[in-house]
Structure 1
Amino acid sequence: MKSKTLKLGGVPEHFNMPIHLAIEQGLFSAKGIDVQWVEFPDGTGAMNKALWEGKIDMAIILTEGIIRDIANGNPSKIIQNYVSSPLRWGIHVDAKSSFENIDDLEGKRVAISRIGSGSHVMAYVQAHEKGWDTSAFELVEIGTVDKAIEALAEEKADYFMWEHFTTKPLVDKGIFKRVGDFPTPWSSFVVAATDECIENNNQHLATFLKVLNAVTAQFKSVKDIEKTIAKNYDQQLEDVQKWISLTEWSQDQLKEKELKIVQERLLDLKMVDNICEKDFFLKSI
């Protein structure tokens, strides 16, 4: 029987190791699904665009980023929560910078990967929490983390927010200086799929989630998983051990109350026009 191809987008980060294990071990293909991984180093904004354009069928994507984009018309839905623990955003400046703490960054230029990305949304959320005036925020769109390194070093931007453990090697090497952390007040990542994919591949999506959930449910008990992650993602073993102790994968749909919290925060930040009544979730699969 011919397998069904599903293109799945995601960032090159350790959160997605369960997906890679499932692909490498042939768990999806054994169920008749050819999951093709499409990597997005520049994050959620780029994945949102790819979902809009039908270049990918699904994405492992930041919760706040996809909710904002669906509210603004993206023809996709959240089919399940993926990582239910908060994302720990590191707030970084160039290692040679005179900035020493978060308060030093009020009114400064923030590097973001793309408009609509997590680094964009969370810069506003963090500033709002501090009581800063975001009406005159100066955003510097840079794309990838490598471009963020250049932007901060060349003083084209002042600070950059990205996941704490992903960027820790850059801190350890003296490229970035971390002046603080900011955890999301909601689940980190969800699985989203385009409306077209949902309409045409409902049963395949159900099978995909069944396989994925079986992997994530026992992921922490995989033999030497910390060592594998450390090797694959250029991390120190002790950092991986700390990260994995803080991270929880979900096998359920995102909760309505989390959707409400995200939408209310986005509305406060004027990143959406209103609390959207449209259906963000795939109710059953």
Structure 2
Amino acid sequence: MQRRHFLVSSAAAASVVAAPSLVRAQALEKPKVSIAVGGKNLLYYLPLTVAETLGYFKAEGLDAQIIDFAGGSQALRAVVGGSADVVSGAFEHTVNMQSKGQRMRAFVLQGRAPQIVLAVNRKTMPDFKSVADLKGKKIGVTAPGSSTNVMANFVLAKAGLKPSDVSFIGVGATSAAIAAIRQGQIDALSHLDPVITILERAGDIRVVTDTRIVAEADKVFGGPMPAACLYAPQAFVDKHPQTVQALTNAIVRADKWIQAAGPREIIEVVPEGFLLGDRAVYIDAFLKSKGALSPDGMVPEQGPATALRALASVDESLKTAKLDLNAVYTNEFAKKANAKYPKA
């Protein structure tokens, strides 16, 4: 723990010395910014944690307050309701919100594949043969309406099942999800690491679809499916461009640091509570998910269309919706961040 504290403190101090937060704050429209996230402990949001722990937000002159919720849909509601400024959440929410008349824009990517795994409970479904067997079953998700719910809906739709053919149950992002599987409260789980790896290593689940593997995610969704990102109402982006740039700089630095880091370094910067009591499992989960994390914060051009197809598979109204997909993201901030921080 002393080494962990030294590493984190030294990195944060070095960042602040290199770029004094007081000087940076003078150029920011909103130096104190709140970020809502659904399940901060998940590897899905590792860049957010790294940016916070290593002092990257502070180095950009930001006082970033991170508010953790049980799922991404709840984090989104916090921003829509005005109790937070920015969402650290799933990219597809930007598309879905535009269809509802609310303009949200993603400005830096944390994950280039969803990292979500759909798995069945070996205890309650020992004879599972195909996704069609999930009809009438209970499926656990982080929170109803979250990206884990969307992913499950998409896989079900490809098997000819509607969302109403199953029961979705919110199980949160940590130990409650593990308990729900082990106690037989749910028949399947759409979730992320480290929860999935813990259950997988213990033999509690059987993996059906694994989007931690980029190639499999591209196959499942028919193209690149952007995952975790920072997004905000368009009005916030327009009013606070320097603040958005600072947030982007911090996340891009974290993205690059993660790609260059080894498991030991990751363990030293991640809060102890995120490890769920087993460092070896967390390292295993990190290695499985690392390839699905963004290396540079850039949203792929085909990403918005992929996200729309996924959403439209479970929402008929989106098949005919007139949407401006170029308005749900921008890479301009990430391009500048990459120019400023070309290396980890």
Task: Give the number of the structure whose residues are more often helix, by fraction.
Answer: 2
Partner of residue 144, structure 2: 115
1:22 maps to which of 42, 46, 51: 51
Partner of residue 180, structure 1: 208
**How far apart are the structure 1 equivalents of 2:68 and 2:156?**
29
**Residue identity opposite 2:229 in structure 1:** V
**How far apart are the structure 1 equivalents of 2:143 and 2:317?**
17
Partner of residue 277, structure 1: 323
2:192 maps to which of 150, 157, 163: 163
**Residue identity opposite 1:119 in structure 2:** T
Q: Is the 8 A contact 2:138 2:188 kept in 1?
A: yes
**How far apart are the structure 1 equivalents of 2:286 and 2:193?**
14
Partner of residue 155, structure 2: 126
- The answer to which of 46-55 and 90-99 deviates more is 90-99
CA distance change for structure 1 residues 112 and 77 in 2, over 3 Å: closer, same or farther? same
Q: Is the 8 A contact 1:61 1:189 kept in 2?
A: yes
The percent identity for this pair of structures is: 13
CA distance change for structure 1 residues 189 and 96 in 2, over 3 Å: closer, same or farther? same
1:99 aligns with 2:126: yes
Aligned-pair Cα RMSD in Å: 3.0
Partner of residue 265, structure 2: 225
1:71-115, Cα deviation, whole Å (9 max, x unpaired): 33344211122212x233323344522334451633133233333
- The answer to which of 271-280 and 160-169 deviates more is 271-280
**How far apart are the structure 2 equivalents of 1:138 and 1:166?**
22
How far 1:34 sits from its partner (Å)? 0.6
Given the two structures, how large is their TM-score scaled by the length of structure 2? 0.70
**How far apart are the structure 2 equivalents of 1:133 and 1:29?**
47
CA distance change for structure 1 residues 171 and 6 in 2, over 3 Å: closer, same or farther? same
Name structure 2 gaps, 5 residues minimum: 1-21, 26-30, 212-216, 334-344
**How far apart are the structure 2 equivalents of 1:95 and 1:191?**
36
1:256 aligns with 2:283: no
Name structure 1 gaps, 5 residues minimum: none
Aligned residue-pair number: 281
CA distance change for structure 1 residues 53 and 230 in 2, over 3 Å: closer, same or farther? closer
CA distance change for structure 1 residues 166 and 254 in 2, over 3 Å: closer, same or farther? same
2:42 maps to which of 2, 8, 13: 13
How far 1:252 sits from its partner (Å)? 4.5
Q: Is the 8 A contact 1:111 1:141 kept in 2?
A: yes
**Residue identity opposite 1:64 in structure 2:** E
CA distance change for structure 1 residues 69 and 148 in 2, over 3 Å: closer, same or farther? farther
Partner of residue 45, structure 1: 73
1:68 aligns with 2:87: no
Given the two structures, how large is their TM-score scaled by the length of structure 1? 0.82
CA distance change for structure 1 residues 56 and 241 in 2, over 3 Å: closer, same or farther? closer
- The answer to which of 30-39 and 251-260 deviates more is 251-260
**How far apart are the structure 2 equivalents of 1:221 and 1:253?**
17
**How far apart are the structure 2 equivalents of 1:154 and 1:245?**
30
**Residue identity opposite 1:24 in structure 2:** T
How far 1:47 sits from its partner (Å)? 1.5
**Residue identity opposite 2:125 in structure 1:** S
